[in-house]
Structure 1
Amino acid sequence: MKLAFFTGIVLLFIMAVVASCQSEDQVEFSRYYSGGSVIYLAHCQNCHGEKGEGLQSLIPPLTDSVFLKTNRSSLACYLKNGLKGKLTVAGREFEGEMPAVADLSPIEVAKVLTYITNSFGNKSGLINLQQIEADLKNCK
């Protein structure tokens, strides 16, 4: 019993040391990423899938890092205003309508886009609030 208690205390201490070794940027990224996963589950997963795979020829996948990087400054506009018309993702054409998720705040948009652009095989780093606010001002 004492050994299990001592082992638990040692493990907690090690976890605390490891967590404190993260830089402020890593902590901020983790905060955005974990918050974004919850938002993705609530607003995006139903259509784009648990693994960002999309839905056959109806809904584009979120696994194409080239599309996400090329359109990075437009992604916030797509979320807030929706998207209509033809779209080419991963070499496939999609035509339809993505409804707007207008009820998301700019920080929620930043979090969900950080999650999407760093999940499903994508690795794009943090998309912070300041970037999203600038992108939203430029929506057409």
Structure 2
Amino acid sequence: MAIIMQSCQNEDSITYKRYYVNGKGLYEKNCQNCHGSDGKGLGTLYPPLTDSTYLIANKKKLACIIRNGQSEQITINNVAYQGQMPANNTLADIDIAQIIVYITNSFGNKQGHYDQAEVAKDLAACQ
């Protein structure tokens, strides 16, 4: 029984690490120009990804924001951000899941795993 539990934990850990590493590359390619290599954003134009409170409160919306973009003003730490985030409608669900794992577990965030099935469910809710 212990061996089975250990192998499941190892597989979950490997999956998480794979999502995280792939997400980092996808973030660098698709998100870093605006949100920065350190996730601190760009002035009041592009919001930081360093605010765990905002990311936790909006985790179910992140897939929608990444896929469809966002044009409405958001406020993080009492700072209003007006910049428009373009849609990334060419990203597959797995890519979005990997980006979310990366951003929600980097820059001071620690939110654990988020998989492709959760992305599909969250995207269905935003359409």
- Normalising to structure 1: TM-score of the pair? 0.83
Which residue of the partner structure matches residue 69 of structure 1? 56
CA–CA separation in structure 2 for the residues paired with 1:63 and 1:91: 14
Give the alignment of 1:98-113 within 5 angstroms: 98-113=85-100
- 1:63-119 alpha-carbon deviations (Å, 9 max, x no partner): 001100000000000000000021011221111210001110000000000000000
Which residue of the partner structure matches residue 4 of structure 2? none
Which residue of the partner structure matches residue 33 of structure 1? 20
**1:47 Cα deviation from its structure 2 partner:** 0.5
User: Could you list the runs of 5+ residues in structure 1 that have no partner in the other structure?
Assistant: 1-19
Larger radius of gyration: 1
What percent of counterpart residues are identical? 44
Structure with bigger strand share is 1
Which one of 79, 83, 101 corresponds to residue 114 of structure 1? 101
Give the alignment of 1:1-140 within 5 angstroms: 23-140=10-127
Which residue of the partner structure matches residue 3 of structure 1? none
CA–CA separation in structure 2 for the residues paired with 1:40 and 1:64: 17
Please, what is the CA RMSD of the aligned residues? Answer: 1.2
Equivalenced residue count is 120
User: Could you list the runs of 5+ residues in structure 2 that have no partner in the other structure?
Assistant: 1-6
Which letter does structure 2 place at the counterpart of 1:27? I
CA–CA separation in structure 2 for the residues paired with 1:23 and 1:130: 20
Specify the SS of the correspondent of 2:74: strand
Q: Which runs of 4+ in 1 moved over 6 A?
A: none
Specify the SS of the correspondent of 1:74: helix
